[in-house]
Each structure stands twice: as structure tokens, then as C-alpha cells.
Amino acid sequence: MASGLFALLDDIATLMDDVAVMSKVAAKKTAGILGDDLAVNAEKASGFVSDREIPVLWAITKGSLLNKIIILPVAFLLSAFVPVAVTIILIIGGLYLAYEGAEKIYEYLTPNKHTKTIVLEEDISEKEVLRRENEKIKSAIVTDFILSVEIVIIALGTVVNEPILEQILVVTIIALIATVGVYGIVAVIVRMDEFGFKLIAMNDQKDSFSDKVGLLLVNALPKIIKAMGFIGTIALLLVSGGIFVHNLDFMHHLFPSIPSIITEFLVGLVVGFAVWAVIHFGKKLFTKSKPSTH
């Protein structure tokens, strides 16, 4: 009986070793999406009154966990019974990510066309503040759902040929990292300025060490969010390009003499702008063909 117990423990240890190795591989594959998820949520969780940032972030985190609870069982069922669906969803998601990356580049290159007039309002009721807050939370949760689907499917794609138990363990670990890790970092980022202001107010001395650190944190926040947005855009194109290159045979052998990271970026960029052009001109045609209400 003792030998049977030791054999069981040995099997469990071997399983966990395999899971750890596969989780590292899956984490590398999903790193780009996690970076974009981090950049998007840092942007969406900022801009609130300081004492509402953490409650808002907690609401988004709970929504993200619910997203994972919905997505994971569906992904495992597809992997078990319709494994080809995983690849199809992966490619469809890759098209979306490539499009999103191309759209961000287009908006960056043509900023004047996308400038919004911001009207500052005073005396906004508490009810209106909560309504806008809830709208932003819902928007963040919807975005998280789309990114979560891609994170789960990409992670699942790395272990799709493994036993179902190992698939469940690896993908669940990645899903938890995607929620706890990302939103934990976002919480630190969005509170940087608040911590900076506290350092500045720590003493009455001017130009003290705490003042310098505080000002550094306050000034760094918008730059960090902007930098993360840039990195996230590059990551979107790399991840989407990687999806196409590794799942479509005719793309797998493109430009063999060029480093794979450049090939994946170029493929993501070209496919992204192709999808963007179809959607952009499709919207224009739809708007022109729409009957006038006058």
C-alpha cells in the first residue's frame, strides 16, 4: 500500500513538472496578449476619482473572472470533441487582433481625424457619475472577454495534443495569471500618481527627496500608459502574425531567411491592414447605401 502511495505521489510530481514546463511555453505564447490586456485595462481603469479607482478595478476583475468561468469549459469541450474548432477560433481571433493593431496604427498616423472635443462638466449628479462609471466597467469587461478568449485559445493551442487533464491545468493556470497578474499590476499602475501626491505632501520642505520621487511617479503615469499602448500595439501584430504563421501552412514557409519575429510582425501588419481596409470601406458602402430619413 505504501509503495502504491509513493507511486501515486511520483505520478503527481511528474504531472506537475509537465504542467510547469507547458505553462512556461503557454505563458510565452500569450505574453503579447497579456501585454495588450495590461495596457488596455490600465487605460480603462484610470481617469476615475482616486477613491473610486480600486472599487472600479475590483468590479472589472470580478467581471474578468466570470469571463474565464464562461470561456474555459467551452474551450475544453471544443478541444475534446471538435479540436479543429480551436484552430478556426484562433485564426478568427488573429484576424481581430491584426485588425485592432492596424486600426491603432491608422489612428496614430491620422490623429486629427480622431480628435474628440472634450466638454468639461461641472455639477454632475452622483447618479450620472455612477452611470458613466458602470458604462466604463461594462466596456472594460467586454474588451477583457475578447482578449480572454484569445488568451485561453492560444494557451490551449500549445497543449491541444496533450491529455485533457494537462490541458485543463495549464490553461487554468494561464487564465488565473491573466486575471490576478494583469489586474494586480494595473492596480499598482493606476495608484502611482496617488502615491506620488502622498510623497509630495509628506513634508513641508520644498524640493526634498520625497518631492522628487513623488513628482517622478505623478509625471510617469501618463507616459507609462502611453508606452504600454505602443508596446501593446506591436504585441498585437506579433501575436496575430504568429497565429497565422504557425497555423497556416502556406505562411509557415514565408521568407525562411528572415528572423521569425520580423516575419510574424510583417504578416500581422499586412493582414491587419487588409482586414481594416475591408471593414473601413465596407462601412462607407453601407453608409452610402443606407436610405435617407429625410
CA distance 26 to 29: 5
pTM: 0.68
What would the grid cell of residue 129 be? 457619475
| DSSP H helix total and E strand total for the chain | 10, 0
Tally of CB atoms within 10 A around 169: 20
For residues 26 and 160, what is the distance between their CA atoms, to the nearest angstrom?
11
Question: Residue with C-alpha cell 464562461?
Answer: 70
Of the candidates 146, 154, 150, 152, the residue with the CA atom closest to the CA atom of residue 246? 154
3 state SS of 102: helix
pLDDT tens per residue across all 294 residues of the chain: 445 544 544 445 555 555 665 666 555 666 666 666 666 666 666 656 666 777 888 888 888 889 889 988 988 888 778 878 878 887 888 888 889 889 989 988 886 654 444 444 455 666 776 777 788 788 778 878 877 887 888 788 777 777 778 788 888 888 888 788 888 887 887 777 777 878 887 777 777 777 888 888 888 877 887 777 787 788 778 878 888 887 777 776 677 778 878 888 899 999 999 999 999 888 888 777 766 555
pLDDT of residue 269: 93
